[in-house]
Structure 1
Amino acid sequence: MRRALPPAPRHSLSTLLLLIGLAVLVAASFATLPLEWAALFSSDAVRSSGEFLAGFAPPEAALPFLQKTLAATLETLSMSALGTLLAVVGGIALAMPAAGRFGKLLRVPARGILNVLRSIPELVWASLLLVAAGLGPFAGTLALAAHTSGVLGRLFADVLENAEPNPERALRANGAAAGSAFLYSTLPQALPQMLSYTLYRWENNIRAAAVLGVVGAGGLGQMLKYHLSLFQMQQAATVILAMLVLVALVDAASFALRRALTR
């Protein structure tokens, strides 16, 4: 005898209204934006794009320029790594009160600080910090740290709140101090996911560090802006290739580390 199929899940009115609202928003976006697809794929646009891209070939391969590009690549990598490390420290410091570890009184202001930090893009942070720290990678590193602290702090707080509370309660009931109970019960549960989030944000910061150089924060982005402003396309092509290689290597390393953590 065949079993009857279970009834289809019922959708609430609020879910239906939300989907309708999203559909209306998407349709209104297409209707209000001047999307000139014909001009984008016109023969003049294709020819101009081809001539522009042809100027990048062949990339500059002189040894002195490659050495300069390598130094800028290492500077970009250092900016992303140090900015992410500072963000981990700041994120954990704000995630603890944001997760209610120090009482409900500090939870709301800590969440507010995290919202402010991550709401301001890295480019805006860099523009503000360049005034105080001057041109160079220091301002870019601080900009990455400020924005990423807000992102990681929110993610860390959610991980800590979602951790199973019973092991920590059991340790506290048996006389363990609050800090020791947290370190031996809640933190081991949250640590793999926190490390995964950290590695993912490091990937993003590699790309962001390359872009921050456009506003004078050093690294590959600053080189790219300089050569493009002088229409030195072959040199710019070498810098772009260095960006692609750096991002690919960091993506591969981060993916391998995340897989090792989740096994």
Structure 2
Amino acid sequence: MSTVMLQPPSPCWRCRVTAALILAAVVASFAYLGIDFRALFTGESLRLMGQFVAEFFPPDVSPEFLAKAGWGALQTLAVSALGTLLAAAAGAVLALPASGRFGHIAQATSRFALNFLRSVPELVWAALMVLAAGIGPFAGALALALHTTGVLGRLFAEGLENAPRAPEDALVLAGARPVSAFVYASLQIVLPQWVAYTLYRWEMNIRMAAVLGFVGGGGLGQLLYFHLSIFQQQQAMTVLIAMFGLVALVDFLSGRLRRGLGSAYA
């Protein structure tokens, strides 16, 4: 009976060199920034941090301020929903040429546009939209729509590229028009994935919509910035609780919608 000698796996020198370079970069970053962790945990630092945190309690639960925070939460929800809806529509339009359906020139142009839109952060778009549309929720919705268009457009295009073309081509050969063949074949294949991507980006846009208020995008972020700037920490704590509740609610609803969508197409 012959025996098989198992050879030990050869070391991956490329992996080791890459890991060493990453470790060296992390160590160099800490050395360059000069972060002093010892000063963070001194008795005086801990006392000041505790005093700062204590100023946020108890949160302001007066009916007047709760109504104000509720209105800000509705604004934040509306900004995120409108921005995500506009981005999904624009991303779907740009995904068609970006997937190579209209030639290489249209593909390169649309991919350049998508890369540009998502390479600019939401806060930068918000600062620009505040200058263009004025301070308020509309500027925040436009900022979210511009950045999210780049993200969703790229994801939608990749979904179309990976979808099989055989059902669509079969309908075209059977005499269907190209638009009808796309709607009843390829679109039906990628639609659940597109909806899942859109819902996931909506969850992220809820968080970002709350942050955009710091640059004039309206909603809870603008309310938080105002009360922090005048050192009203108790009111700021109420706004933070409202942010957490809103994000948790949207995460729950989005998760239920995605599970329902998955079971419907199973």
TM-score (norm 2): 0.91
- Paired with 1:262 and 1:146, the residues of 2 have a C-alpha distance of 28
Aligned-residue offset at 1:171:
1.7
Query: How far does the alpha carbon of each residue in 1:173-228 deviate from its partner, in whole angstroms, 9 at most, with x for none?
Result: 22222111111111111111111110110011111110111111111111111111
- Paired with 2:16 and 2:49, the residues of 1 have a C-alpha distance of 44
Residues 9 and 184 (structure 1 numbering): CA distance in 2 closer, same or farther, change over 3 Å? Answer: farther
Secondary structure of 1:105's counterpart equals helix
- Whichever residue aligns with residue 40 of structure 2, its letter is L
Asked if 1:43 is matched to 2:39, the reply is no
- Paired with 2:197 and 2:100, the residues of 1 have a C-alpha distance of 20
1:165 corresponds to: 165
Structure 2 residues not aligned, in runs of 5+: none
- Paired with 2:21 and 2:105, the residues of 1 have a C-alpha distance of 36
- Paired with 2:88 and 2:9, the residues of 1 have a C-alpha distance of 41
- Paired with 1:181 and 1:157, the residues of 2 have a C-alpha distance of 18
- Aligned pairs for 1:162-241 (under 5 A) are 162-241=162-241
TM-score (norm 1): 0.92
Residues 241 and 102 (structure 1 numbering): CA distance in 2 closer, same or farther, change over 3 Å? Answer: same
- Aligned pairs for 1:1-263 (under 5 A) are 18-263=18-263
- Whichever residue aligns with residue 132 of structure 2, its letter is A
Residues 179 and 13 (structure 1 numbering): CA distance in 2 closer, same or farther, change over 3 Å? Answer: farther
Structure 1 residues not aligned, in runs of 5+: none
- Whichever residue aligns with residue 225 of structure 2, its letter is K
Aligned-residue offset at 1:34:
2.0
Residues 21 and 81 (structure 1 numbering): CA distance in 2 closer, same or farther, change over 3 Å? Answer: same
- Whichever residue aligns with residue 111 of structure 1, its letter is R
- Paired with 2:213 and 2:111, the residues of 1 have a C-alpha distance of 30
* Range that drifts further, 60-69 or 11-20: 11-20
- Whichever residue aligns with residue 230 of structure 1, its letter is I
* Range that drifts further, 119-128 or 15-24: 15-24
Number of matched residues? 263
Residues 238 and 89 (structure 1 numbering): CA distance in 2 closer, same or farther, change over 3 Å? Answer: same
- Paired with 1:164 and 1:10, the residues of 2 have a C-alpha distance of 39
Give me the identity figure in percent: 53
* Range that drifts further, 15-24 or 238-247: 15-24
* Range that drifts further, 100-109 or 3-12: 3-12
- Whichever residue aligns with residue 200 of structure 2, its letter is Y
Secondary structure of 2:104's counterpart equals coil
- Paired with 1:4 and 1:128, the residues of 2 have a C-alpha distance of 68
Residues 193 and 15 (structure 1 numbering): CA distance in 2 closer, same or farther, change over 3 Å? Answer: farther
- Paired with 1:124 and 1:193, the residues of 2 have a C-alpha distance of 29
